[in-house]
Amino acid sequence: MKKTSTKLADGRELLYYDLRDDTVRDAVDRRPLDAITTASEIRHDPLLGDAVAIASHRQGRTYHPPADECPLCPSADGRQSEIPDSDYEVVVFENRFPSLAGDSGRCEVVCFTSDHDASFAYLTEERAALVLAAWTDRTAELAAMPQVEQVFCFENRGAEIGVTLAHPHGQIYAYPFTTPRTALMQRSAAAHRARTGRNLFDDVVARERADSVRVVLQGEHWIAFVPYAAHWPYEIHLHPIRRVPDLRALDEAARAELPQIYLELLRRFDRIFGEGRPPTPYVAAWHQAPFRTEGRDEFGLHLELFTVRRTSGKLKYLAGSESGMSVFVNDVPPEAAARRLREVAS
């Protein structure tokens, strides 16, 4: 992999990730952009103890542009986009409309391919491995920033999720704190260790492997299953069988196997409700250990992949119980969801 760093016209960092070491990236962003000004602020809720990012400048972000004005496509025919080059493989750049900035963290955009009409599910294994390398590299780089406590790599796909740019892409949030969901997992892991003397993530994986009714796909180094208490109608958790705290700690064997398994899971998601038209909306979220908190070594890296669609043409809304009390009500038994996800195997 070759990484090339450059600057956009307003000073934001942009990184090209290429498979070939001899790839040359020397295009210059010549847009007349003003310097970025953000109003990102972290406020703490005294009742819940969590943090909220206030980012009023995001109201003006690009919203559902036509394909010929997509800011994530390569620059071409006199039209300048966020990517100065006329083609690319994988690109990461600082978000022009970040939720987190400066001392409040950092937000980056990850473009998986220059093909506007593609999707992650149908990338080649080689390209998916390049995205994994970019996620890993960004985790390492962001971990070195003193204001960053946790790195979250994720993909939102589909208008139902709230995506405003159709081009296949994901994001990376570098938080200046441990997120509430991660802190809750850490507390559960600490309590489990105190009660049993064992690691919670190891025990969860061992239980699913032994039971097997909710296992969707298993390789030599990874296992994917619908969790016993799934929150969403179709939800998969993907764990490395050898527990590690974050993407940086994966060994070469696990890295080599991941693209095949991950692509197969995404393709199955597109087939849950038929032939993949319209594509299944989903969130794919990598959970990594915070960098400087107690209990880091107890945490287990894993991916949570879920869709807000509960059946063809119907969405799972976060209504009163979910939004008001954080108590999910799931209409699809996890065992039935796992069975369906096995049925739509390639």
d(CA 61, CA 57): 8
Measured CA to CA, the distance from residue 130 to residue 13 in angstroms comes to 19
Cβ proximity of 241 and 252 under 8 Å: no
Residue type, 261: I
Torsion of CA 128, 131, 133, 135, to 10 degrees: -140
Tell me how far apart the alpha carbons of residues 233 and 220 are, in angstroms, rounded to a whole number: 27
DSSP string, 199-223: -HHHHHHHHHHHH-TTEEEE-SSEE
Q: Are 138 and 269 in contact (CB under 8 A)?
A: no
Look up residue 19 and give its DSSP letter: S
| Identity of the residue numbered 139 | T
> Which of 288, 307, 22 has the alpha carbon at shortest distance from 135?
288
Cα–Cα nearest to 261, from 300, 225, 214, 210? 225
Q: Which residues pair with 110 in a beta bridge?
A: 92, 170
Known catalytic residues are: 169
Beta bridge partners of 150: 175
Binding residues for Zn(2+): 70, 73, 116, 167
Q: Which two tokens stand for residue 118?
A: 């593609």
CB-based contact 10:34 (threshold 8 Å): yes
Nearest to 179 by CA among 275, 286, 57: 286
Output the known binding site: 70, 73, 116, 167
How far apart CA 335 and CA 216 sit, in angstroms, is 10
